[in-house]
Amino acid sequence: MFPTRRDFQAMAEHTRTGILIHEAASKNILWANPAACRMFGFTLEELRPLKAHHMSSQERQYRRALGVAWLQSAVVHGSSRRQWKYRTKAGVDFLTDATASHIQFQDGPVVMVEFRNISEEVEIQQELSWVSQSLQRIMTHTSAGILVLDDDNCIEDISPLAARLFDSTPDRLTGVHLEDLGRCDPALNSEQVVAKLASGNGSVKITQRITKVDGSITWLAGELEDVVHDGIVSRVLAFRDVTERVELELRHEYQEANLQYLSRYNAMGDMAMILAHELGQPLAASSNYLSGLKARVAGGTLDREQLSYGLDMAERQLSRAAEIVASVKRYVRRIESTMSALDLDEVVDESLYFVRLRAAERGIRVDVHSTPEPLPVQGESVLIGQVIINLCFNAIDEIVLPTTEVKELTVSTSRDGEWACVSVADQGRGMESAPENRLASGVFSAKQDGSGLGLILSEHIVERHGGDIRFLANEPRGTEVRLRLPITRTSR
């Protein structure tokens, strides 16, 4: 059996905790329970037209602007708690422990203020209503600092919690320009902030970086808003400490940047290695042809046919060298590429140029099977291509072993449901002693030559692209390494 709406109203009317219901936008009083009316000495009809300064202490720390800022903090963050000194109809001040909570009623949003006289703390605690306890369980309470700024963005009022976030006190911070305490992003005088506040439409998200005396960094985040109440505009900033979250984000960004650096650094190293190795043969051959022509010229035995043949052969070798340099240049030019829409077949085709170079010098045949349907993926072509090269180079190193009879590397692409797949297969020693997930355990990463990228780093790159690398048994023998990336849905 669950309490009805009428049950909640009955409990609110019978609780000894004072309850005020304010309209969320105007902060006008809509309703008060009998306990609140008794504490103030007003009837409900007398309370409704009252403004904050009519029912609050005249002391500076309880002035109207700060009261509005407190209620607005509840609108922004869901709940805000503080001590507030009210004034009765007879002019007697009484200090309360008050909690303002933002609640969505059927007719619109309201701010509910629950308060109790601290001088009757023990009695109130013993008789605290079930209504208050229920609302505490279902609402999110946040701890937020509150500042009231003047037109020059200097601190006019500041809550004790906010002052503690600056390692200071309210008295010391009053009159200080907010940005003298730390850089704000966006800047408070930026066009973005000025235009947003001038429009009167919503708040501006502000992040502030505070450097404390001990050198530690604190990050604050909140919302800045001009709140209009009784014809007065108060600039209110409600914020909280988000240092832990920001530091976590910064560590993640550093790890991502470091992965990018390692990947691109190794890609550049691989291309330099290929360039140095592959250019050796054509340059040496062209040098031999030219040296032969030079010797014949010195001996006086060179005829036109020999000259034409020698120059033609030297030109072919130099053209071959130029082709190698152009291919590496095209690859390296995209080293700083960013995430973009790709066709995985095209990435494989570009990567196979370098794979075929290494396979040819080792007497290995490369057999390629490409799927006719497109394989749209989202990623960085250079990093994905480097992973494919690395997988192929590792397979070549297995195939070249004397124990591998079939000197053939098979590379194929396919689509498996929502996955775009690249398979690299050999007929080497196989997987009898290693599990499918042996990549993470480093079974294949002990070798020091090859691409230099390493399969562990390859795995991180693929995972960052939302995919995985699997090791499967090949038929009739050997290993199949399968790279999977998610198909881009919008490109289907």
Q: Say if residue 355 is in the same domain as residue 488.
A: yes
Picking from 336, 370, 397, the residue at the C-terminal end of a domain is 336
Q: Say if residue 153 is in the same domain as residue 80.
A: no
Q: Which residue(s) pair with 210 in the sheet?
A: 218
Picking from 117, 138, 159, the residue at the C-terminal end of a domain is 138
Q: Say if residue 223 is in the same domain as residue 296.
A: no
Pick the more confident residue, 331 or 153. Answer: 153
Overall domain count for the chain: 4
Determine contact, residues 220/238, Cβ cutoff 8 Å: no
CA distances from 422 to 346, 368, 410, 419, 469 (A): 12, 11, 10, 10, 10
Residue 309 pLDDT exceeds 90: no
Q: What is the CATH number of the domain that holds 296?
A: 1.10.287
pLDDT score at 328: 65
CA distances from 465 to 194, 265, 372 (A): 40, 19, 23
Q: Say if residue 479 is in the same domain as residue 342.
A: yes
Q: Say if residue 389 is in the same domain as residue 458.
A: yes
Q: Say if residue 117 is in the same domain as residue 127.
A: yes
- Cα–Cα dist 307/310, whole Å: 5
pLDDT score at 214: 80
- pLDDT per position as a tens digit, 362-391: 899 999 999 999 999 998 887 888 889 889
Q: Say if residue 281 is in the same domain as residue 376.
A: no
Q: Say if residue 457 is in the same domain as residue 326.
A: no
- Cα–Cα dist 120/94, whole Å: 11
Residue 492 pLDDT exceeds 80: no
The residue range of the domain holding 47 is 5-138
- pLDDT per position as a tens digit, 81-105: 998 999 999 999 999 999 999 999 8
Q: Say if residue 322 is in the same domain as residue 279.
A: yes
For a pLDDT cut of 70, what percent of the chain falls above it? Answer: 80
Q: What is the CATH number of the domain that holds 360?
A: 3.30.565.10
Picking from 118, 138, 158, the residue at the C-terminal end of a domain is 138
Q: Say if residue 225 is in the same domain as residue 327.
A: no
pLDDT score at 258: 61
Q: What is the CATH number of the domain that holds 75?
A: 3.30.450.20
**Least confident interval from 37-51, 199-213, 365-379:** 199-213
- Cα–Cα dist 216/251, whole Å: 16
Q: Say if residue 114 is in the same domain as residue 214.
A: no
Q: Say if residue 353 is in the same domain as residue 454.
A: yes
Model confidence pTM above 0.75: no
